[in-house]
Structure 1
Amino acid sequence: MVMTRQDAEAPTMKEEIPHDHLFKVTGLSSTNLEKLAQEKTSDFEEAIAATSYGRFNIYMMLATLPAFWSAVSVTSSVSYIFTRAQCDMQLNLLDMGTVSAITYGGMISSAMVWGFLSDTLGRRQIMVWGFFCSGLVEAAAAMSQNFAMLLVTRFCSGFLFNGPFAVLISYLAEMHRTELRARVILLTSLFYTIANTTLPLLAWGILTRDLDFYLFGERLVIHSWNLFLLATALMPILTGLSFFFLPESPKFLMSRGRNEEAMEVFRKIYALNTGMKGEDFPIAKLVEEKSEQQGRGVAALRGGWAQLCPLFKVPHGPWLLLMCAIHYSAMVGSNTLRLWYPQLAAMIGSASNESLCSAIAPSNAPVVDDSILCVPIQTDMLTYLQSAVVGAGSVLTYGIGGVIVNRCGKKLVAGICGIASALMIMLMPLLGNGPFAIVALVTTALAFASLCGASLSSINVELFPTSLRVMAMATFLMCGRLGTISGTVAFPALISYGCYPPFITIACVLTACGLACFLLPNTTLKKLE
């Protein structure tokens, strides 16, 4: 058969589908279908910006307050009970160190598990059940009658708490538009300050009282430190209940091809923020981020590993490695100093010690006689007030950081704060001549280190796509907790070599952290992928 030139140039006839068939399949007329096809599709950033800012965002921020308070209490509450519990449970120094570290051990062991589940099953249910169950385990820890029970429950608490808190950071980022995202994450870090300020005050109000309750004869004894742990356990339970009323992340839904569900979430947020009807939401159609809807439940888990593999390959793998190394260094500096400060404050408060170095010199260490009856360490209000002042020191820093972060860039803020914190720690053995000087130096150092860590969290959120974000955040936090364990264990070992080695070591690690921040990409005002 010979095809002529005219036949080749003739336009091909498109096969038209009958109008009645289109109506039967879609329920829409051909005219409405044509209008629908011509509607503009909007991406996530346009949609979340169209929801405005209002009551929903305020409620969400209030719901995160007990979550951040819980993050401090889960990791730090046991450091306040040792003055009382060491006699009730016959704890030695090794037991105390083990209990403090075991919570971080539980967090590290669960990092990959929670990141995998949240990136495949969703954000909301992980936060609800994770926080709630963590609170229940915290309550069980509060009822501990022996060292073994306290150890097991603290490990389980860390295991359960790690996941929902990592999800929370990603959830907050996915619920705010680009220009507010970094500021929100920095400003929510003020909740850390509130927790670090109120936790020692709560400890002062409960632990300084001689409270003993005997239940079931004398088989269950509740001391003041049990009541303190029980009070802190209420916060994660409250967090789980408050997140029950929040929706799933629309960014996660869009990344799974569930645009209709995402649109419903956008409309609800819009209605709450503006007071208008959800049907008035200006966005009519969302861009298809996935051509096919992802599976749920077991099907989602089966495809999860293949989806997460890119996190450990180029281009995401090198950035994840760098972020983890920087956060490890940041937590070596900040959390080591934070967890050891109550002990340092007690030593500096002694009348025989005029400076920091004279207080921690090995020659001044008291000799413990095991034949002497155990007597609880008596703490006064001044010890707890010093811890509260140190905890409140980040208020001004976070406020300034929230203003300048978009102007100067997050990596610049993180780098400068890391170096500034190192300088303050370097000066501690030189200028630490009295409790007030130590409080001022520690407060400044922790304020800079906290702002550095908050900036790093914001960078980490924006550096990875939605399908990998929580897994990356969980790995990021895991490495930070490894840094906390390393620093907490290394600090007393370095003290045996003298006053300067522990502070010089921490300062060098923080300096390396600050310099490495300048190697990170610029994510300021970057849209979420």
Structure 2
Amino acid sequence: MVVVRSEAGVTGAREEISHDHLFKVTGLSSTNLEKLAQEPEASDFEEAIAATSYGKFNIALMLCTIPAFWSSVSVTSSISYIFTRAQCDMGLSLLDMGTITAMTYGGMISSAMVWGFLSDTLGRRQIMVWGFFCSGLVEMTAAMSQNFAMLLVTRFASGFLFNGPFAVLISYLAELHRTELRARVILLTSLFYTFANTTLPLLAWAILTKDWDFSIFGDTIVIHSWNLFLFATALMPLLTGIAFLCLPESPKFLMSRGRNEEAMAVFRIIYQMNTGKPGEEFPVKVLVEEKNEQQGRGVAALRGGCAQLAPLFRPPHAKWLFLMCAIHAGCMFGSNTIRLWYPQLAAMISNDAKGLCSAIAPSATPVQVDDICVPIVTDMLTYLQSAAVGAGSVLTYSIGGALVNRCGKRLVSGFCGVASAFLIVLLPFLGTDAYAVVAMVTAALAFTSLCGASLSSTTVDLFPTSLRVMAMATFLMSGRLGTITGTVIFPALIDYGCLPPFITIGSVLAVCGLACFLVPNTTLKKLE
């Protein structure tokens, strides 16, 4: 005999289940079960950041990063513009100039691990604010340098302080943009490098071509035009530190530390600024719990830091870290060596109409006339050439930004590395006049800059949040090792003739370009 019960009977039976029975079976009352059924599904970071849309916050963020990237160029490059004036004031040789330039990068290398550890455990915003601001203060001290030793020490200190906040900035930008915008944004910020590389020589022309000399405290401190130039460039890191006071902590970092309520507050602020709607209307209501909050603060975060960083140097991350660092070191060996030495080379070429190889002959040292040092004469054209070299990356970045998602970061970086190597090798053969040198150096530096930007974006994608800044700090440290090697080796290779320095740089860039094809394809990859 089959018993058929109506749907109403079933519903009635369900409604008659007592609260006591529900509590015994589930441990929850019927009211709590109803609330549980109504709770929204937890969203991960990528869903939350995509829900904030794109608008005023992202534009304000990019505007705040302009002085940061300008600071990066000024901290590392401003010193190369003063040598034509300061070489006689301090009695500098070519090797001394290379040593001073390398010392900034030495400071960056010495602090890479410290900054990476602190930012991955304590946060992004504080590191950026205090790092940029204190770096600006040290830059002002460097501007008061009176001798070789003082300039050497202050350049090291400036590099030590500046390295951390700038490494954090790359990760910070990536963590505040959704997946499909991330690579393009990092490439766009590279245009800020172009802006800085264009305006810095113009500032140098406005100040360094003047014969300004005056004393402070009697003859204790003598201020020359190159001191004033360094003082002007020191203002930008100070401005950067103040600007980042207005920005929030990275929500991705907060989520990785179990501070989901704070992360949600940041998401709502971004959503409100971008859409104009109240923060309460933010569609994401619950975030995925990535970590216990008690483990994400203060001493607990520091204690857990070492344990978290260990995977960076073990499989599967170790091989990619080593590969990315090796490629970046070679890329910066070529790119920064040419970029940092170009102002001096341009000044030499302007005084020698026979071409590049004639200008950089081993005799290119401060001229002595009756035991009086006569500095290399520079004019507006010399600085305009440097500005043209800096501006040359605009077209390359524009094309690269359009192609990076279509062709992939691996192809873009590999092609740019090989193309820059080809141009550098041809430089001593075709650089018969100043304009040919400007054109070839501009194209070569544009390609290496795009290669470096693509590698930076790939590195951000390859490592999880808890390791990202440490990986970026190590990545940047490797590039600075390459820069130190190049800036010191370049004047030494010049003693052997015109070809050795350019053949060496071109060979290294070619190997790095080919090695880019071994890198994983991370185009449109979500952040871990």
Do they fold alike, i.e. is TM over 0.5? yes
Q: CA deviation at 1:81?
A: 1.2
- What RMSD, in angstroms, separates the aligned Cα atoms of the two structures? 1.9
> 2:27 is matched with which residue: 3, 16, 27?
16
Q: What's 1:373 paired with?
A: 372
Cross-structure match for 2:163: 162
1:268 aligns with 2:261: no
For residues 92-137 of structure 1, the C-alpha deviation after alignment (integer angstroms, 9 at most, x for no partner) is 4443222111100000000000000000001000000000110011
Residue 454 of structure 2 is aligned to residue 455 of structure 1? yes
Q: Determine the C-alpha separation between the residues in 2 that align with 1:31 and 1:17.
A: 6
Distance change in 2, residues 1:42/1:350 (3 Å): same
Verify the 8 A CA contact 2:101 2:487 in the aligned structure 1. Answer: no
Instruction: Write the distance in 1 (CA, Å) between the matches of 2:337 and 2:170.
Output: 23
- Label 1:430 to 1:378 Cα distance change in 2 as closer, same or farther (>3 A): closer
1:208-357 pair list within 5 angstroms: 208-291=209-292, 293-351=294-352, 353-357=353-357
Corresponding position of 2:182: 181
Deviates more, 1:217-226 or 1:278-287: 217-226
Distance 1:307 1:340 in 2: 40
The one-letter code of the counterpart of 1:290 is: K
Cα distance in 1 for partners of 2:98, 2:510 equals 27
- CA distance in structure 1 between the aligned counterparts of 2:368 and 2:200, rounded to whole angstroms: 32
Residue matched to 1:132? 133
Compared CA separation, residues 366 and 205, structure 1 to 2 (3 A): closer
State the shift of 1:18 in Å. 5.8
How many Å separate the matches in 1 of 2:242 and 2:364?
47
**Could you tell me whether the CA contact under 8 Å between 2:98 and 2:491 is conserved in 1?**
no
Inter-CA distance 258–12: structure 2 relative to 1 (3 Å threshold): closer
Q: Is the 8 A contact 2:213 2:222 kept in 1?
A: yes
1:360 matched to which residue of 2?
A: 360
Inter-partner Cα distance in structure 2 for 1:506 and 1:153: 29
Per the TM alignment, residue 322 of structure 1 is displaced from its structure 2 partner at its CA by: 0.2
* 8 Å CA contact 2:351, 2:377 repeated in 1: no
Q: 2:332 touches 2:483 (CA, 8 Å); kept in 1?
A: yes
Q: State the alpha-carbon separation in 2 of the partners of residues 295 and 526 from structure 1.
A: 26
Equivalent residues in 2 for 1:370-519, closer than 5 Å: 372-519=371-518
The change in CA–CA distance for 1:317 and 1:97 in structure 2 (over 3 A counts) is: same
The structural deviation recorded for 1:35 is: 4.4
Deviation at 1:500, TM superposition (A): 1.7
Aligned to 1:222, the other structure's residue is in SS state strand
User: What secondary structure sits across from 2:222 in the alignment?
Assistant: strand
Partner secondary structure for residue 518 of structure 2 = coil
Distance in 2 separating the partners of 1:166 and 1:250: 17
What residue number does 1:7 align with? none
Query: Residue type matched to 2:360 in 1?
Result: I
**Alignment check: 8 A CA contact 2:428 2:499 kept:** yes
2:82 aligned counterpart, secondary structure: helix
SS in 2 for 1:52: coil
Partner of 2:198: 197
The letter of the residue matching 2:326 is A
Q: Following TM superposition, by how much is the alpha carbon of 1:291 offset from its aligned partner in structure 2, in angstroms?
A: 4.4
Work out the CA distance in 1 between the residues paired with 2:269 and 2:69: 26
Q: Which runs of 5+ in 1 are unaligned?
A: 1-10, 20-28
Shift of 1:369: 4.8
* CA deviation vs aligned residue, 1:438-485 (integer Å, no higher than 9, x gap): 111100000001000000000000000000000000000000000011
3-state secondary structure, aligned to 2:223: strand
Q: 1:292 to 1:240 in 2, by over 3 A?
A: closer
Secondary structure in 2 aligned to 1:286?
Answer: coil
Q: Call closer, same or farther: CA 1:429–1:375 in 2, change over 3 Å.
A: closer
Amino acid at match of 2:407: C
Aligned residue number for residue 122 of structure 2: 121
Give the superposition deviation at 1:431.
Answer: 1.2
Contact residue 107 and residue 157 of structure 2 kept, 8 A: yes
Letter in 2 for 1:48: I
In 1, Cα distance between equivalents of 2:414 and 2:186? 17
Take 1:369 and 1:87, find their aligned partners in 2: how far apart are those partners?
A: 10
Deviation of 1:145 after TM superposition, in Å, equals 2.1
The reply on whether 1:30 has 2:32 as its aligned counterpart is yes
The structural deviation recorded for 1:302 is: 1.6
Q: In the alignment, what sits opposite 2:18? A: none
2: CA distance, partners of 1:133 / 1:156: 10
* 1:361 Cα deviation from its structure 2 partner: 3.8
The one-character-per-residue Cα deviations of 1:345-401 (angstroms, maximum 9, x if unpaired) are 2232234x4232233344x65696596112333211111110000000000000111
Gaps of 5+ in 2: 1-21
Q: Does the 8 A contact of 2:81 with 2:344 survive in 1?
A: no
Query: Displacement, 1:434?
Result: 0.8
Secondary structure of residue in 2 paired with 1:290:
coil
TM-score, normalised to structure 1, is: 0.92
The CA distance in 2 between the partners of 1:360 and 1:92, in whole Å, is 14
Q: 1:199 to 1:366 in 2, by over 3 A?
A: closer
Structure 2 counterpart SS, 1:42:
coil
Find the aligned partners of 2:189 and 2:310 in 1 and give their Cα distance.
31
In 2, Cα distance between equivalents of 1:188 and 1:443: 19
Output one character per residue of 1:123-177: Cα deviation in whole Å (capped at 9) or x when no partner: 0000000001100111111122222222211111000000000000000000000
Q: Distance in 2 between matches of 1:40 and 1:393?
A: 49
Length-normalised TM-score, structure 2: 0.93
In structure 2, what is the equivalent of residue 65 of structure 1? Answer: 66
Task: Mark the CA change 1:367 to 1:15 in structure 2 (over 3 Å): closer, same or farther.
Answer: closer
Map 1:135-146 to 2 at 5 A.
135-146=136-147
1:79 aligns with 2:80: yes
Q: Given residue 107 of structure 1, which amino acid in structure 2 is its aligned partner?
A: M
Change (3 A) 1:108 1:14: same
What's the offset of the Cα at 1:227? 1.0
- Percent identity between matched residues is 76
AA paired with 2:239? L
Q: Are the structure 2 counterparts of residues 137 and 220 from structure 1 closer, same or farther at C-alpha, using a change threshold of 3 Å? A: same
Distance 1:431 1:88, change over 3 A: closer
SS in 1 for 2:215: strand
What is the total number of aligned residue pairs between the two structures?
507
Cα 1:445/1:286, change in 2 over 3 Å: same
Residue type at the aligned position of 2:35:
L
8 Å CA contact 2:327–2:512 kept in 1: the answer is yes
Q: 1:501–1:98: structure 2 CA closer, same or farther, 3 Å change rule?
A: closer
Runs of 4+ in 1 over 6 A off after TM superposition: none
Per-residue deviation, residues 61-116 of structure 1 (Å, max 9, x unmatched): 00000000000100111111122223333434443222111100000000000000
